Amino acid sequence: AQTVTQSQPEMSVQEAETVTLSCTYDTSESDYYLFWYKQPPSRQMILVIRQEAYKQQNATENRFSVNFQKAAKSFSLKISDSQLGDAAMYFCAYIRGNNDMRFGAGTRLTVKP
């Protein structure tokens, strides 16, 4: 079974600073997809960024970027120039093909003004 581990239950960052959220996963597959989802207090699950395992280039979306280390099975999320609106629960997720998406336990990010 594939498992996803987020080792940081809570993180804090000063507004305008940079923070990195960690994620590791366990799989024997070579072809899969990785995601970061954001869940604000509204409870909505919002896709932040995604990465195909066969792509060596790290994905970026504006202030959000990932550090994908396939051999180490690591998929960290970097948030640059943190904003108050970034405060939320962040979930790392893994999926292979049409199998179900597997989630980490989440990291709660607090942004201090």
Q: Is 105 in the site for other proteins (CB under 8 A)?
A: yes
The count of C-alpha atoms lying within 13 angstroms of the C-alpha of 36, restricted to the half-sphere facing its C-beta, is 30
Beta carbon of residue 16, minimum distance to other proteins (angstroms, whole number): 29
**Closer residue to other proteins in complex, CB, 37/82:** 37
- DSSP 8-state code for residue 75: E
| Interaction residues for other proteins, span 17-46 (CB under 8 A) | 33, 35, 42-45
Q: Is 75 in the site for other proteins (CB under 8 A)?
A: no
Indicate which single residue of 32, 68, 75, 91 sits in contact with other proteins (rule: CB under 8 A): 91
> Residue 43 in contact with residue 103, Cβ under 8 Å?
no
Sign of CA dihedral 20, 25, 30, 33: negative
Sign of CA dihedral 72, 12, 78, 25: positive
- 24-35: buried (b, 16+ CB within 10 Å) or exposed (e) per residue? bbebeeeebebb
Q: Is 4 in the site for other proteins (CB under 8 A)?
A: yes
Among 14-22, 24-32, 76-84, 102-110, the segment contacting other proteins (CB under 8 A): 102-110
List residues near other proteins by CB under 8 A. Answer: 4, 6, 9, 33, 35, 42-45, 47, 50, 91, 93, 95, 98, 100-101, 103-106
